[in-house]
Every structure is written in C-alpha cells, then in structure tokens.
Structure 1
Amino acid sequence: MGADGVFSPNMIKRVPSTKPPFTLGQVKKAIPPHCFERSLLRSAILPPPPSTSYHLILPTLHGRSTGFSKAVSSLVFGSLHTNAATMPSVTTSGSTTQLAYSSTLRSFVPYFSWKFSHRRHHSNIGCLDLDEVFVPKLKSQIPWHYMYLKQSTRPSLSPIYSDRERLHIYISDLGIFATTSVLCRIAITQGLAFVISIYGVPLLFVNGFLVLITYLQHTHPSLPHYDSAEWDWLRGALVTVDRDYGILNKVFHNITDTHVAHHLVATIPHYHAMEATEAIKPVLGEFYQFDSTPFYKALWREARECLYVEPDEKGVFWFMNKF
C-alpha cells in the first residue's frame, strides 16, 4: 500500500479496466459443449454425501435428534438448487427449490426473494449505480457511522421488487411463517435449547460463512468498478475473483473457485464449472483474476484495505483505504 492510499502495483496487479478484446460468444465457444448439459438426475443425487454426514453427526449430539437431523441435513439440497444451472428447466428449478427450502426449514432465506435480487445482481454486477451486492461507496459518501449502522446499498424505504414479482414474494413469506411455526412446535416439544443448538447455531454459522464467501467473491483490490455511463455487462461480469478455500472448495461444490465462470455463463451446472473455468482462462487472459491467499488472511486484508472507491479515470473506480 502506497502512502497515498493507492495499492502498490508491485503488491496487487490490477485487472484491465479497458473493454475486453474478446466477446461473450468467444468465451462460450471455448467451453466444451457437454459443460452446458444439465442433468436432473445428477443434480438430485449430488446432495446425499453432505446429507449423510449430517445423519451421522447430528444423532451423536442428541439422542432425540434423528428425525430433526433429516430436515437440517437437507439444507444442502436447497442450496444446490437456488440456481437454474442445476435443473434442465426453469419451472423444475423454481418449484423444486421452493419445496426444498420450505420442507427443510431453509425458508429463513426466502427462495423467490433471493432469486429475483440475485438475478439483478447478475445483470448489473460491477456497476456502482445498479448492482446490489457489496457495492462499495465513494469516500465522500461514507459518514462516520456508516461502518456501524448503514450497510444497505439502497434507501431504507425504496422498493426492492417489482409488482410482477409480488406473488412470488408472498409465497416465500408463507415459507418463513411455516418455518417459524415448525420451529415453535419443536421448541415446545423438545425445548428451546434443543432448537438453538441444532438449528439456530448452524443457521448463523452457515449464513455467516455465506456472507464471507460472497464478500470475498466481489471485493478485491485488483478489481475495478464502473459508473453507469462507463459500465457494460461484459466488463461488469469480470468484476469478480476466484479464490482457493482448500478442501472447502469441494465441500461448497466449487462455488468459491469458479465464480468468474458463473458470472459469465450462469447456466453451467456446478459439476462442470471447474472444466469450464479451465477452458475460458486462455480466452480471458489477464482479465481473469485468481487469488490463492488463504481466505482468513484475505478477509483481514480486504476489510482493512478495500474501504471505499475513488475514480482513477473517467467512470472507472478502484479500492482505496486512506482517510
């Protein structure tokens, strides 16, 4: 880090912010055709290994937890189907995922609400004016209390969803109410401490780690951001970084080290994502960003260094940290 608050080029090499010399069509052409094939059967049978682990571990924690562990273990199943990349049709993906979320107590992350906001993130990634996920602020926009009280990128009373999405949001809300009802009944019969230990603590841990992963996917000193006048979709899709989580890469089905490919071609199922990533690297060249820094060290570095963005040239913004 230089004295002026700008990252030293010798320490972190910036990704080019110019228009890429390749097109999305060229990126897709480099990917083997079979990587686009989605199998309902393969998507459905992938969850058992993580689920099996839960079945083996949770009953040892509490003698009465066998039935409840089946519900908790299926959280992985719901997570795998939050994206159309795992299912051969949008209808199958949506209905299956909502059912999985509701029936496995996963509805505290309402599926349709997440689906619509995530779609907008994919459509506007890298744009300071339109993106919705870990959008950095300008230095002039950061009040003294920002880091403590204001983490939302939208005004608190602004609409998040459109009118045509309202019915689906209500369906997701019903899932939340159903989940709350089930948890209350379990607390009555098994005790509040049981619910907290078997559901509450794992839920906090899983969602906390999910936020960590998402933050590190979109926050890196080498990545630019753009205002709406300079932004275009392809450059925005490249404003993400693949990271190495060691053995956790496989535990998380490689969502951690194939995120660049995911943003470029979101319909590739995760079981083909590694092959697709290797195929597009030669096309992307220096536009592809991978960081092998251990995630806990990267989290500390990014939290200290990537505090705000400032323009380096017209419409292009870079992370800085000097106040």
Structure 2
Amino acid sequence: MSGKQQKEDVLPLLKGAKIDEALDKGFEIHNFSIKEIRDAIPAHCFERDTLKSMSYVAHDFLLASILFFMATYIDSFQSLTVRMIAWPIYWVCQGIVCTGIWVLGHECGHQGFSAHKYVNYIMGMLLHSFLLVPFHSWRITHSQHHKNTGHMTQDQVFVPYTREQVGLPTKKNDPEGDGPHKIFEESPIWTLLDMCKIFIFGWPVYLLANLSGQPHSESWTSHFNPYCSLYTKKQFWDVIQSILGVATMISILYYASTVFGSLAVIKFYVVPYFFVNFWLVLITYLQHSDPMLPHYREGVWNFQRGAALTVDRSYGILDYFHHNISDTHVAHHFFSTMPHYHAAEATKHIKKVLGKHYYFDPTPIHKALWRSWRTCRFVENEGDVVFYKN
C-alpha cells in the first residue's frame, strides 16, 4: 500500500489521526479485528492443562536441583582454575533454567497455567516469590502492559522518552532534525557499561522504583508500595501478600546464610538471580524496542494494533529452557491466557492472518541489541504514530 493509498483508505477510519511518520516510512497500520485473529487459531490452543503445566514446573526444578547438586562439588576441586571456570558455568546455566521458572510464574499471573484461578495464584506466589518477585503486585501492572502494549501514555514498561524529556529542542527548532544527535554520542565502552547497569540492576529497580515505566508525580511509585498510584484500594491486600511472599524468601535466604555462610548463598542463589534479571530485561527490551516498529497514541491505538507492535526473536536452544517466551511473544500478547505449550502452533496461524504485520527479526541477538540500544533514544512529542529516533 502506498503512502497516498494508505492516507485515502486508512486515515478516514482513524478520524483524522496524525500518521505522518507512518506515511513517510511506508508503515501500514492494520485494521484486523481480534475476532479475525482468534478465529484463525484452533480451539485446542486455548485449552489449559494443569497437570501438563505442573510437569514443566517439575522439569525446571529438576534441572535446577541437578545443577545445584553438581555445584556443591565445585569447591572440592584443588585447582583454582577449575573452580574459576566451573562457578561461572553454574551461574550461567542456573540463570537460564531459573528464567524458565520465572516464565511459568508469569504464566500463572496471566491465568495461562491452569483453568483454576486458585491454582494459578498459589503456583504464581510460590514460583515468583522463590525468585524475589512480588507476584500479585507485578501481575497487576503486567496486566496493564498487556492491555496497553505500544500505547505512549498507558503502557507500563520500556515507555519511550519523548523529545522534550531527553532535553532536545522542538523538531522545528532542532538543527539536527531527526538525528543522529550529538548528545547521544558515546564510546562503545560507555555503552557497554550502561548496558551492564541496566541488565544487572534494571529488573529489581523497576520493581522498587518503576524504572522505565510511566512517570508518576508521587514520591515513591513501587511494586512494594500498596498506596501508590499503580494500585487501587481493592488491590491493597494483593500487594501486601506479594510483599510477604518476597519477605519470606529473603528470610529463608538469611537463615541459609547463618547456617551455610553468606558466601554460599551468594554463589548458589544470588549470582544466578542476577543472571535471571539479565534475561528478563534483555528479552523484554528487545520484544518492545526496535527502530522498525512505532508506538501509538490515542488517535491510532487499539488492543490488536498494540499487540502487533511486538517482535518475535529466537534465542536458539534457550527458547526451549525459556518456554518459547521470546519466539512466540506476538501470540502471547494477543492471547495471554494461552498456555506456552500451544503458542508455537498458534503463531503459525497468526502469521497467516497478519501477513506482513507479523514481525519476526532473525538478526543475531547481540547485533539487534546494539542496534536498538544505539538508535532507540526518543520519539516525537506529537503525532499518533511515532518511531524511535536517535
């Protein structure tokens, strides 16, 4: 569809929305209904099997237990070189496996683990508290992310900064136009350091202080503050329950440190925990931050358009351990209650319906990350379709 044709065919349906950036880039705004997409997927893909879901929990904890058991022998090696190699191998592998456990807890929050709400909530509390995630607190805000994916003022995670927020002059008065802008120039070393800071600490800081979420005027917007604007009064006890779950796990870790020593807890649990943080931030960032996809404002956004602003990517063998959260994420955004073990099949049918509006990026992960990190800096203050610029 040419820019002129899109303006004639689509713009009237959008009631005069400002889509100049979409027209300039030749980006087409689809008009599929959610019913069209759902009807293309076999009904059995929406069926949830509690026993099957539990088998994945058993699978992940078995792998984590085997890795833990093997790691208990690492310090028995006399060679320092062997120990220095073996511990990082354990940390990386345990981080990968525990990310899979996190994904299963996330599925509980979406009611995709079981058809029974109480099973989802019990298992979600157990799995996410184990990984220091406030289950209900995050479940509530994550639900808002799914309901508002790609919306500039309603989405909850990796919300783009605007031109004004990064301190640039208006586009009309900006001598560097759409960029690249000198204020974003930095050495590769500095970029890597910035990445390390976000990938190691970004997830806990998001939970504690709403990093990368929508800006709020209150003093402490946090998943650990039941009084903040993220929650309603009815959700107060859900947040308290979540805090108690995390506090219980911290107490267990503290007790373990008094019995086995703090260093043991750090080596066996804390370091793999930070590797889980790495995978969560990396996967989520690349799913929703890409220069080829825009964000929408009110004049264009609807649920199905927002859900399609998601990029599927493959991480190779890690897709297996991460329960395909990365390469079937488009399907997950359209139908979040669908269990992960049906998502690959559903993706095939969604691709047929969406056609060119389905986005899969085969770019190697490290290259995609570098590209997005260097180019996804800000969007314009105005416009109903806005693309990342640098």
Normalised TM-score (structure 1) = 0.85
* 1:164 matched to 2:234: yes
Root mean square deviation, CA, Å: 2.8
- Structure 1 CA distance for aligned equivalents of residues 26 and 122 of structure 2: 42
Hey, what does 2:68 align to over in structure 1?
58
* 1:211 matched to 2:281: yes
Once the two structures are aligned, what percentage of the paired residues are identical?
Answer: 37
- Structure 2 CA distance for aligned equivalents of residues 54 and 198 of structure 1: 11
Hey, what does 2:46 align to over in structure 1?
36
Letter in 2 for 1:121: H
Q: Report SS of the residue matched to 1:164.
A: helix
Q: Report SS of the residue matched to 1:242.
A: coil
- Structure 2 CA distance for aligned equivalents of residues 295 and 309 of structure 1: 23
1:244 and 1:257 in contact (8 A); partners too: yes
Hey, what does 1:153 align to over in structure 2?
214
Is the alpha carbon distance of 1:161 and 1:286 closer, same or farther for their aligned partners in structure 2, counting shifts above 3 Å? same
Is the alpha carbon distance of 1:196 and 1:41 closer, same or farther for their aligned partners in structure 2, counting shifts above 3 Å? same
**Which segments of 5 or more consecutive residues in structure 1 lack a partner in the other structure?**
1-8, 66-70
Letter in 2 for 1:253: H
- Structure 1 CA distance for aligned equivalents of residues 265 and 150 of structure 2: 40
Letter in 2 for 1:131: D
Q: Report SS of the residue matched to 1:220.
A: coil
Q: How does 1:284-323 map to 2 (within 5 A)?
A: 284-310=354-380, 314-321=383-390
Larger radius of gyration: 2
Deviates more, 1:284-293 or 1:231-240: 231-240
Deviates more, 1:140-149 or 1:170-179: 140-149
- Structure 1 CA distance for aligned equivalents of residues 159 and 100 of structure 2: 28
1:223 and 1:318 in contact (8 A); partners too: yes
Letter in 1 for 2:385: V
* Residues 115-137 of structure 1: CA deviation (Å, up to 9, x unaligned): 00000001111110111110101
Q: Please state how far the C-alpha of 1:152 moved relative to its aligned partner.
A: 4.4
Normalised TM-score (structure 2) = 0.71
Hey, what does 1:133 align to over in structure 2?
157
Is the alpha carbon distance of 1:61 and 1:244 closer, same or farther for their aligned partners in structure 2, counting shifts above 3 Å? same
Q: Please state how far the C-alpha of 1:258 moved relative to its aligned partner.
A: 0.6
Q: Please state how far the C-alpha of 1:224 moved relative to its aligned partner.
A: 1.1
**Which segments of 5 or more consecutive residues in structure 2 lack a partner in the other structure?**
1-21, 76-93, 169-182, 185-193, 199-210, 222-228
Q: Please state how far the C-alpha of 1:280 moved relative to its aligned partner.
A: 1.2
Is the alpha carbon distance of 1:170 and 1:293 closer, same or farther for their aligned partners in structure 2, counting shifts above 3 Å? same
- Structure 1 CA distance for aligned equivalents of residues 99 and 240 of structure 2: 21
Q: How does 1:221-236 map to 2 (within 5 A)?
A: 221-236=291-306
* Residues 208-256 of structure 1: CA deviation (Å, up to 9, x unaligned): 2111100000011111111223322221111111012111111111100
* Residues 57-100 of structure 1: CA deviation (Å, up to 9, x unaligned): 222222599xxxxx997774454132211211223211221133
